[in-house]
């Protein structure tokens, strides 16, 4: 698109279905590279990515040719299929429905990058649900507890 100039930085956060700790250190690096490839093949700029066994954080420079919802639907579907095709787990892998998408200014990026890089240290002090709820409050997003993330059944 001629004369279209944007600078959009989004942190995506989403969880493994039922917040089960299924992402193993044995293959998490391969998963992060695979997901990075999905973003890059959709012409978005990967800035930082990291995961915990039960969730993932992704900071990207978002291009305007694709909606956030279609991008995340694509990322979740392709990465779930890849995990299952690799037979990393004995059971079927899937991501939880929904996601968080939080926008940042360019001046915020160094802090967000550091935050994502330090997930393992951060989660020694705070669990994922508390972290996610804190994001929703900080960004003044109205929510209902029952819709944040499904508890295991």
Residues with Cβ within 8 Å of 4's Cβ and at least 6 positions away in sequence, in order, are: 64
* Residue 18: strand, helix, or coil: helix
What is the full per-residue pLDDT of the chain (153 aa) written as tens digits?
Answer: 578 889 999 999 999 998 899 999 999 999 999 999 999 999 999 999 999 999 999 999 999 999 999 999 999 999 999 999 999 999 999 999 999 999 999 999 999 999 999 999 989 999 888 899 999 999 999 988 877 766 555
pLDDT of residue 31: 98
What pTM did the predictor assign? 0.91
Tell me the CATH architecture of domain 9-148. 2-Layer Sandwich (3.30)
* Residue 11: strand, helix, or coil: strand
Domain ranges of the chain: 9-148
Place of tokens 């919802």: 69
């Amino acid at each position: 698109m001629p004369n279209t100039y944007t600078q959009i930085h989004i942190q995506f956060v989403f969880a493994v279905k039922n917040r089960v700790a299924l992402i193993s250190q044995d293959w998490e690096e391969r998963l992060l590279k695979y997901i990075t490839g999905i973003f890059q093949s959709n012409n978005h700029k990967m800035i930082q990515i990291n995961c915990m066994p039960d969730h993932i954080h992704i900071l990207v420079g978002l291009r305007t040719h694709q909606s956030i919802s279609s991008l995340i639907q694509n990322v979740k579907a392709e990465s779930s299929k890849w995990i299952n095709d690799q037979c990393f787990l004995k059971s079927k892998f899937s991501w939880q429905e929904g996601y968080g998408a939080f926008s940042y200014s360019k001046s915020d990026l160094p802090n967000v990058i550091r935050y994502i890089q330090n997930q393992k240290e951060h989660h020694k002090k705070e669990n994922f649900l508390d972290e996610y709820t804190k994001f929703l409050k900080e960004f003044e997003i109205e929510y209902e507890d029952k819709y944040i993330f499904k508890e295991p059944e």
